[in-house]
Structure 1
Amino acid sequence: MTEDLFDALTAGMGAAVDAETGELSTADLELLRALDALYQASDKIAIKKLSRNDRGWAWTPPVNHQAGIYIPAELRNGLFFPEDTELHAPSENGKNIQLPIRISWPQSAKHTKPAHYKRFTGKSSGAETHLTVLPKHLFAEAGPASLLVLGRTSQMPEMQLQAVLVDSASTVYGLVESRFDLRPDFQAGIFDSPADGALPEREVDELQSFIDEAIEAVQSGHLDLFLRKYAEMPAAETLSNQARQLWLDQNPRCTLNPMTLDKPGDAVRSIVSGIEFDLYRQHEVRTRGARLIKLLLGDGAVPTVGSMVTRLVRDFSGFYSEMLNASQQRKARVGTGFETHIRSLLDAGKVPYAEQRVVSSLRPDFVLPNVELYQANSPHALVLSAKTTLRERWKQVTMEKRGCPVFLATMDEKVSVAAVQMMREHNVYLVVPEALKPKKGVIVDFAQEENVKTFAEFFKDIVAKEKMPVWQSLM
């Protein structure tokens, strides 16, 4: 419960500060209440990140004939949705079978029609399962990578669901990501309801050892030693090195050479958002926990209920500042790790570059192949910038062009097509993990845009084939 509350508070505070007013809006609070009601009424939660096709059927004009959302194997066959054997007999054309499911939509109270859980068996690409007859306006207005949260209770005689759509532009989005520990590569999953505050067994064990140590320090009078032990987080470079080594240990036949690695972008995303994030969080909960304990018990006096309540109320600003700082530092550390591992790709691929060099008040993340060519406004140079999330910040890199193209590396799935098209007008290319631009299927809205390249395409086609021969002749 402690870590879940900590994550929820920090995510919420960070989101609030990003908003214009510095607070959650009325719409955000209504969305939070709808989610809380869903959690309270459910024993199982299914979450699906909406792809372009999951939303495009509701657009005018529609971009596909799907008429609803695709249900992946992770949610089917009794895991959340019914077993295929429970579906009704095949329709007259013999190509699909279906089951009506009642779903309540607090965001669309007027939509009372049952949804259709359909198994299409006659598709040339193979059998697919869709959920159709959904409130069209919710999906038409939803942004890229929005989340559909479904709640189910096993106590009902027949399957009934509650559904809440969390738009990717909402400040509540981060709260849902934090509460369910959704990583950037998340697509769909099933979770126990968080209504009772339960944590996975692994996290309970990790937290309990820290809590036991803290209680022992207070009771034995060694609180100062305990606080000094957890006073500082490991350096960012240390965590990045550990994460990179763990990835190499897990992939013994691979290196981080982007010229030979099949999916260098996926590797970086796995290291940053998976391995390194886990390492960071293990240290973060202890360091932040120790600082909160110091705020609460730092005078060394034996705590009482009265003293703790007084501290919480009178020193609220201190607790708030600590939580806010945690949220901001978490985002900064993720960004730093992303840059660090891109540098590892450049080094492993023997790509010449200059890093964070000031040129006429500009400080690009990476300039290839060197500052001299960049300063000369040569079209043969290029800039590689790294931003884990974009929003409107991509416009900052347009100032770094100096006559050469800018390649903007990101893991952000929530970028709109309109933004990517604007980037193309400014000669800015997006560089994304390979999972966001698969050979088949559409995961993100912008995958088919001309100025979107995978890490593999950037390193193997643009750098190795196009640029390196030119650089070698000029250097």
Structure 2
Amino acid sequence: MQESQRDTIEHWMRRSTRLAIKKLARNDCQWADSRDSHQNGFYVPRSLMDQSFFPPTTQRLDKPHIWETALPTLWIASGETRRSRLVRYTNKGRETHFTGVPKEEFASLNPASLLLAGMLVEPQSGATYWFVVVDSLTDDAEWLETLYNIGADFEADIFDVADPAAQEANNTLALQHELEAAIASGTLDEFIRSAAVMPHPAAMAHSAQEEWKRRTGVATLDPYQLAEPGDAIMQISRDVEFELFKKLELRHRAAQVIQLLGTDGPGGLAGAVVRGFAQLNAIFLSASQVRKSRAGRSFEHHIAAMLSEGNIHFLPQAVRGSTRPDFVLPTLDRVLAATGINDEAMILSAKTTLRERWKQVSLEQVNCAFFLATVDDRVSADAIDAMAAQDIVLVVPESLKLSNDTVYKPKTNVITFNDFFRHEIRQRRSSLIRSA
């Protein structure tokens, strides 16, 4: 596991005017794991070139089909400076290659890792750009995704605010105005009361579903009326709900801190901070833990909504000995009486992110088909093969199955939510659908 680079990244971000972030596709980094590959570098999407983040390329006189420019780059993980090169072969299309990069930075990465590039205010060691690769399974990746509101369908973008503190201020500006208004109007106590309790996960999930319907104009979560039900679940859970949750959580934590620091006592604000340090630490620790645990529970609520609106027989959280499968279809008794993977009964487990936690689901298995749903785009090929060895079928959003950022496309034990609902349930197990 890659060690945290957050302090180093923040240092260089503060010395930059603009920041580019790219989600690395498999062809951006798999060359680094191959002895036979002649590639050295990654592809620069048109969106980054069109926004003039990198300098323009110029046509070579000796080879007119090649447009290129050389630029020194600083790789902050190792501190080395490289003579890199932007090159475009017009006879191969408009895609630009970025070469002359440290191979070790791109080796052994998990799918959907991130590449950061900063445009420096002042050149360092002759370089005007710095780079760093952030593995997708690290807390650094989660921090960047939260800071820059990187959604499920993100590929690459330019951010004009590089300083993380300034970006955080942008993200919280609306709350600041709300607090200033509450203080000015003498309604701070009312604000604290309104933000004192976070909504129940089921209520939060329902709000996110309704907000997604409002934004998309889609009136139902019936999976048989959606062309890409998995993409819908991914958008609701990873984008819409997380956006709502961050706003509510920020109000909630702000109210807790204001209430704590506003306590009368000796030493004013400074005294309140010192006396309340342990409580402040607990507040922020709790924030991190709650954020991660709520994501998994919300994912289950969204799947349950689709099962319900699809009129599918299911039972959530059925207790079976020491295990509690997320969903059994149709009932626990039928699952326990199943005679093999072709039986109409099945188990569906749900995990927003897998990492090594997918191994837990093997404890839930019985003598029927077993499906594991996720919206995680970071699952490795080795993990998928290990699941196949245990007859676990991975269910993923439609766009992730086809994406070049993941390793799902060639894997036969990876299916889409569309396949799951239409083929595995409606075609192969039609008895699981309630009659009209």
In structure 1, the partner of 2:119 is 152
Q: CA deviation at 1:314?
A: 3.1
1:373-388, aligned counterparts within 5 Å?
373-379=334-340, 380=343, 381-388=345-352
Aligned-residue sequence identity (percent) comes to 36
Distance 2:77 2:297 in 1: 38
Change in Cα spacing, 1:227 to 1:253, as seen in structure 2 (3 Å) is closer
Q: TM-score, normalised by structure 2?
A: 0.90
Equivalent in the alignment of 1:122: 91
Equivalent residues in 2 for 1:180-329 (5 A)? 180-195=148-163, 197-199=165-167, 203-216=171-184, 220=186, 224-253=189-218, 255-299=220-264, 306-329=267-290
Change (3 A) 1:402 1:96: same
Would the aligned equivalents of 2:394 and 2:413 in 1 still touch at CA under 8 Å? yes
How has the CA–CA distance of structure 1 residues 41 and 287 changed in structure 2, closer, same or farther, with 3 Å as cutoff?
same
Distance in structure 1 (CA, Å) of the matches to 2:160 and 2:413: 40
Secondary structure at 1:238 match in 2: helix
Q: Which amino acid aligns with 1:170?
A: T
Going from structure 1 to structure 2, the CA distance change for 1:472 and 1:176 (only over 3 Å counts) comes to closer
AA aligned to 1:346 is L
Q: Is 1:462 aligned with 2:427? A: no
Contact 1:88-1:98 within 8 A present in 2 as well: yes
Q: Distance in 1 between matches of 2:407 and 2:62?
A: 35
Over 3 Å counting, the alpha-carbon distance change for 1:253 and 1:414 in structure 2 is closer
CA contact (8 A) 2:114 2:133 kept: yes
The match for 1:174 is 142
- Unpaired stretches in structure 1, ≥5 consecutive residues: 1-18, 20-24
**SS at 2:27's partner residue?**
helix
What is the alpha-carbon distance in structure 2 between the residues aligned to residue 239 and residue 79 of structure 1? 40
**Cα–Cα, structure 1 residues 38 and 154, in superposed 2: closer, same or farther, change >3 Å?**
closer
Q: In structure 2, give the amino acid aligned to 1:359.
A: R
| Residue pair 1:210, 1:286 contacting (<8 A) in 2 also | no
Give the aligned residue type for 1:77.
D
Partner of 1:11: none
Whether the 8 Å contact between 1:354 and 1:370 is mirrored in structure 2 is yes
In 2: Cα distance, 1:189 partner to 1:468 partner:
44
Superposition TM-score, scaled by structure 1 size: 0.83
Post-superposition offset of 1:204: 4.9
Q: Give the direction of change, closer, same or farther, for the CA distance of 1:104–1:294 in structure 2 (3 Å limit).
A: same
Specify the code of the residue in structure 2 equivalent to 1:128: E
Shift in Å, 1:282: 2.0
Cα distance between partner residues in 2 of 1:423 and 1:269: 22
Once the two structures are TM-superposed, the CA of residue 73 in structure 1 deviates from its matched residue by 2.4
Alpha-carbon displacement from aligned partner over 1:262-290 (angstroms, at most 9, x marks no partner): 11111111111222222222221111110
| Aligned-residue offset at 1:177 | 2.2
1:40 to 14, 38, 46: 14
Q: C-alpha distance in 2, partners of 1:430/1:60?
A: 27
Closer, same or farther: CA 424–142 of 1 in aligned 2, 3 Å:
same
Distance, in Å, in 1 between the alignment partners of 2:72 and 2:134 is 20
2:406 is aligned, of 432, 444, 465, to 444
**Distance in 1 between the 2:9 and 2:282 partners?**
27
**1:113 aligns to what SS in structure 2?**
strand
SS class of match (2:163): helix
Counterpart of 1:419 (choices 380, 383, 404) is 383
Corresponding letter in the other structure for 1:99: T
* Matched letter for residue 185 of structure 1: D
How many residues align structurally? Answer: 430
Match status 1:102 vs 2:66: no
CA shift, 1:353, in A, is 1.0
Encode CA deviations 1:59-100: one digit per residue, 9 max, x unaligned: 1245x6653212122211244123xxx312147555432111
Amino acid at match of 1:451: N
Matched residue, 1:5: none
Shift of 1:224: 4.2
